[in-house]
Structure 1
Amino acid sequence: MSQHVLIIGAVALGPKAACRFKRLEPGSTVTMIDQNSCFSYGGCGIPYYVSGDVSDVKELCNTSFHMTRDEKFFKEVKGVDMQPRTRALSIDREKKQVLVERLDSGEQETLSYDKLVIATGSSPRRLPLPGAELEGVHVVADLNDAEKIRAAVTRGEVSKAVIVGAGFIGLEMAEALTDMWGVETTVVEITDQILPGLVSPTIARMARRHMEEQGVEFQLGQTVQRIEPAEGGERVAKVVTSAGELEADLVILAAGVVPSDKLARDCGLACSERGGILVDEQMRTSDPDIFAGGDCVVVKHLVSGQPFFLPLGSMSNRQGRIIGDNLAGRGKTFPGAVGSFVVKLFETSVAGTGMSLAAARRAGLDAVSVFQIQLDRAHFYPTKELMTLELVVEKGTRRVLGIQGFAGSGDAMVGRVNAVAALLPRKPTVDDLSTMELAYSPPFASAMDVLNSLGNVADNVLEGRNVGILPDEFAECWESDQGECYFLDCREAADAGQYVERLEKWHNIPQGKLAERIAELPRDKRIVLVCNTGARSYEAQITLMDQGFADVLNLQGGMAGLKKWGLEL
């Protein structure tokens, strides 16, 4: 029997659900409304339009075969009635009607439905800042914002910009303004690291340092107090932070997003106390005739088992297909997500999936992280690059909880993160990672892949054979040491010699010579072992522990990690 499906929201999830359902039930009617004139576009491409990598904003609204997703496209190609500039005001669940307003005329009318889909997405978190209404202050909510920012930059009106927030959007916009347009850009972040909650302080610092090398400045651990215009003007001129004043021709408020769940709350649908519509595995709300998905819902985290909010276009599209299936009665499920992400930062990228160490501990898990730096392909292959990975595991169960990484902007690291993402719902252990099968050829991987090595390192750490410290912990030891530590470089003299010559407390015994020179080492000091990446120093640690040395630490990631982290010895 044919039915009428009404969809509120037409950016990512709405169009996917509409088109999937129409393919399954061509005889049914689908009406899709959106309050904006721009709809069904690639919102995640906005920073790349601002940067100029995407030359025309229309490209974000086109299909892969160069058709524009406008009203005519949806009507003629997809059989969907698309109604832009139409705002949903309220939902009457008993009458199964939605009161809408036609924004161009101001007229109101009711639209009936058999099934309703709420795809209202998310909205930028509004900061209560004096001056936020000034000309030149923007959020990045839709294509209109993107076009205003791009227009101001291309007209030469922007030489200095301030971005509030060091999450995905903030960092991507910082790259866009700095790389293509040469705008002096400062990012202000209230926490003490970029990408807070997503990666460890170690990986965050490595990524931040790379961005600083490209010209982006950061004020971490600072708050914005107000935004001020030039005297007598209405356009932004400076941003006042807890650290001082910053000149600004452009301000972008990128302090995160919140689920747009007001319609659902107002009509009595179950919502999370922290924001977001509650749905079951079939993406149904507490009303069986209403579905919801995308940025306006919370879903189950498949690692922690707790509800979480993940505003990503990729998840919206996957959920949209599930909703389209279930509108047709197919009973498909969306069990949840593990929280996978990747962000490009100039010539590097940061990626992750699952839980960071901080997130795991907040969830009450007894977790530890291990750190590994290794080449992304065979060491003898001419084009190779170091990849930094941090694995989060649960101590007792040996379960893998998450992985985050920092590397070049190619596909090598993202491929490894995606491989772990596919495993996480099945509760893998470090042993599964150690024996994981990956495609091998020297141009693409090492015979012992970096993921296998990472699993092996985690196994050694959990078993107490590899007792390590991260670069930040090493830096603290180095800078505060009053002779309690003995820093031993396990590399060959050709690599270690320059440090021995310059640094009084730097010592060198190559790992292969350590057993025969064991008497040279003090037994009344903590011995901190160093090599290029942490592999030879681990071998040295085994030797020393076997010889009865009780306090031995191995620098995870070695000198490569220290250099990326930024410690100048």
Structure 2
Amino acid sequence: MPEHVVVIGAVALGPKAACRFKRLKQDAKVTLIDKDDIFSYGGCGIPYYVSGDVSEANQLRTTAFHMVRDEPFFHDIKGVDVLSLTEATKIDRANKKVYIKDLRTGKEDVLDYDQLVIGTGATPRKLSLPGEDLPGVYYVGNMHDAEKIKASITKGEIGKAVVVGAGFIGLEMAEAFADMWGIDTTVVEIAPQILPRMVSPVLARIAQNHMEEQGVTFHLGQTVTKIEGEGKVQKVVTPEQTIEADIVIISAGVIPNDKLARDCGLDCSERGGILVDESMRTSDPLIFSGGDCAIIKNLVDDSPFFLPMGSMANRQGRVIGSNLAGASETFPGAAGSFCVKLFEKAAAGVGMSLAGAKQAGFDAISVMLIMADRAHFYPTKDMMTLEMVVDRKTRRVLGMQGVSANGDALVGRVDSVAAIMKYKPTVADVSNLEVAYSPPYAAAMDVLNAMANMADNALNGLNHGHGPDTFEEYWKERESGKYYFLDVREHADAEPFLNKYPEYWHNIPQGEIPKRFKELPTDKPLVLICNTGGRSFEAQIMLDGLGFKDVRNTQGGMAVLKAYGCDI
């Protein structure tokens, strides 16, 4: 009898593991089970199908060679048998059997296995709201939801959309509604910022401001209490207001589907998810797991990590497929790199945000830099805002996040850091990180290297600055005279602000400070500002050397203040 490998779950991880194993063991039998009739698709592409960027639903199921990944494809091309619309109901580990049920006929059967893979994915988190089951309320959990949403839009039935949740999928769906279709779109988020836990409040506000410029409305720090409608959804209710809606998307995260594993006695996390080692084996050496139902290791602090992403599932699937065939490959963990397109900008990052690092127990600080993403003289340059999170004691880079108009350029920098996170890089490692250079693509001192140099200066006490949020608080107190606001740009740049705020805005160009510093007060903090933070940093160094005791540099300067929406 040939070896029989059974794979439960056929969206991302399952097909990758099955096909990799079959390539290595041509004489083995592989059975792939999934309870849906649409499987092996790119779920992360659903927002782009809804938006119209992807015109046909089947494009999310096709290979690069335009072949649809259906049952005949897997059987004829990959040598894998697929049982769709089939649910795995029980695993008998002692006798190595999987009990299954045909969801079309109700017929039950049993499959013997030699090795087993559990790739059951995750389920969208339900909020248990009154009205949650009304027609027109979706979780975007599968292709069926996507097709229904797209059909409603193309029929002209959707004029107002409400998205609950401002994570990746929520923001991508908001863009899909507002950008291509011009639908009046509102996002409600329980946290006080978008992309909670992923980026700092400053970067979140920069991204939010851009989305608001594109017509998306945000209500942050609000909880949806119920959804109302007669026959279909009509309203979303929070304690603060009622929002009209023709469609509601609930994007409140996902829960790993670990019931099969728990029921058969495999080790699982108390918070949900199947525990695996670096070979992607469960507590049973004959059973592997990965993807959205598994818990891996966080490479930043070695803690358990739930990271439901298609990229993770595919890489883990290959490792599992190889190990099923007798290899000893490993998946060491992940640092949590991400990217998300938000209209004409992108947000991306890797590792921990400042809040996340502090919550994990690190004595962390962050610095923020805005700089051209290529040579400053090259005509297609654009400004990239980066924030780096570092540990004071060890000088380790714990994370880096950013927002930029040139998304590919931003992702390239994030990927560079992501590639070395498993080695626990220090600020010096990123400061000297080799990146490809040519003026159309990067500056001679790349923004990534400059970011690390800025962090080095901050750790050494050379750059003592603040972000736009702190500047905004200072500015609100301007009438008290507590702070002295000093613009160190040339007079022509500072003149509009000198005219608008003659009592509060002051100007000494950075190059004139050595001969004019006696004009400055010594009894109050000096808050320095320039265009991007470079000249104000140089001015801060000068003033420190001249004996001033409290000089504060505005990191990112006017460019970040503008993106942040500071009202000056």
Cα offset for 1:165? 0.3
**1:344 and 1:409 in contact (8 A); partners too:** no
Who is 2:116 aligned against?
116
**Structure-2 separation of matches of 1:511 and 1:120:** 60
Matched residue, 1:417:
414
- The residue aligned with 2:23 is 23
Cα contact 2:341–2:407 (8 A) shared by 1: no
Tell me, in whole angstroms, the C-alpha distance in 2 between the residues paired with 1:175 and 1:151.
17
Q: Over the residues paired in the alignment, what is the CA RMSD in angstroms?
A: 0.8
| Residue 224 (1) aligns with residue 221 (2) | no
- Residue 39 and residue 314 in structure 1: after superposition, are their counterparts in 2 closer, same or farther (change >3 A)? same
Partner of residue 45, structure 1? 45
Q: 2:367 aligned with 1:370, yes or no?
A: yes
The alpha-carbon deviation at position 515 of structure 1 amounts to 0.7
Question: Which residue in the other structure is 2:424 paired with?
Answer: 427
1:560 alignment counterpart: 559
Deviations 1:67-109 (A, max 9, x none): 1101000000000001100011111111111111100001111
Deviation at 1:408, TM superposition (A): 1.1
1:373-388 map, 5 Å: 373-388=370-385
The one-letter code matched in structure 1 to 2:244 is: E
Q: Helix, strand or coil: the match of 1:26?
A: coil
> Structure 1 residue 480: deviation in Å?
2.2
Distance in 2 (CA, whole Å) between partners of 1:437 and 1:87 is 50
Could you give the per-residue CA deviations for residues 246-297 of structure 1, whole angstroms, max 9, x where no partner exists? 0000001101111111111111110001111000000000011110000000
1:496 aligns with 2:473: no
The yes-or-no answer on 1:355 pairing with 2:352 is yes
Q: Is the 8 A contact 1:277 1:292 kept in 2?
A: yes
Distance in 2 separating the partners of 1:73 and 1:427: 42
Q: Percent identity?
A: 62
Matching residue's letter, 1:88: A
Tell whether 2:533 aligns with 1:534: yes
The answer to whether structure 1 residue 402 and structure 2 residue 399 are counterparts is yes
1:328-343 paired onto structure 2 within 5 Å = 328-343=325-340
Give the TM-score, by structure 2 length.
Answer: 0.99
Is 1:95 the counterpart of 2:95 in the alignment? yes
Specify the alignment match of 1:263 in structure 2. 260
Could you tell me which of 317, 321, 346 is aligned with 2:318?
Answer: 321
Q: Aligned partners of 2:514 and 2:270: how far apart in 1?
A: 61
Alignment counterpart, residue 483 of structure 1, candidates 481, 484, 506 = 481
SS at 1:332 equivalent: coil
Instruction: Determine helix, strand or coil for the equivalent of 1:236.
Output: coil
Paired AA for residue 212 in structure 1: E
The 8 Å contact of residues 31 and 81 in structure 2, kept in 1 or not, is answered as yes
Deviation at 1:435, TM superposition (A): 1.4
**How many corresponding residue pairs?**
566
The answer to whether structure 1 residue 290 and structure 2 residue 265 are counterparts is no
**In 2, are the aligned partners of 1:162 and 1:185 still within 8 Å (CA)?**
yes
Q: What corresponds to 1:307 in structure 2?
A: 304
* Cα displacement (A) at 1:449: 0.5
After superposition, what is the alpha-carbon deviation per residue over 1:177-232, rounded to whole angstroms, capped at 9, x for unaligned? 00011111110000000000000000000000100000000110000010011xxx
**SS of alignment partner, residue 225 of structure 2:** strand
Counterpart contact for 1:300–1:308, Cα < 8 Å: yes
What does the per-residue CA deviation read over 1:472-524, in whole Å, with 9 as the maximum and x for residues that have no partner?
01101110231010000010111111101111201010000011001000000
Q: Deviations over 1:144-183 (max 9, x none)?
A: 0000110111101000011100000000000000001111
Distance in 2 (CA, whole Å) between partners of 1:530 and 1:422 is 35
Q: What is the one-letter code of the residue matched to 1:559?
A: M
- CA contact under 8 A between 1:2 and 1:25: conserved in structure 2? no
CA distance in 2, matches of 1:161, 1:266: 39
The 8 Å contact of residues 135 and 231 in structure 2, kept in 1 or not, is answered as: yes
The aligned residue for residue 168 of structure 2 is: 168
The within-5 A match list for 1:75-94 is: 75-94=75-94
Worse-superposed segment, 425-434 or 308-317: 425-434
Secondary structure of the residue that 1:378 maps to in structure 2? coil
Report deviation, 1:376. 0.4
Q: Is the 8 A contact 1:259 1:296 kept in 2?
A: yes
CA distance in 2, matches of 1:375, 1:93: 57
Q: Is the 8 A contact 1:135 1:234 kept in 2?
A: yes
Distance 1:455 1:405 in 2: 14
Distance 1:34 1:301 in 2: 29
Question: In the alignment, what sits opposite 2:206?
Answer: 206
Give the match's secondary structure for 2:140: coil
Secondary structure of residue in 2 paired with 1:185: strand
Please say which of residues 509-518 and 403-412 is displaced more in the overlay. 403-412
Consecutive unaligned residues of structure 2, counting only runs of 5 or more, are none
What amino acid maps onto 1:508 in structure 2?
Answer: N
C-alpha distance in 2 between matches for 1:2 and 1:332: 23
Deviation at 1:409, TM superposition (A): 4.3
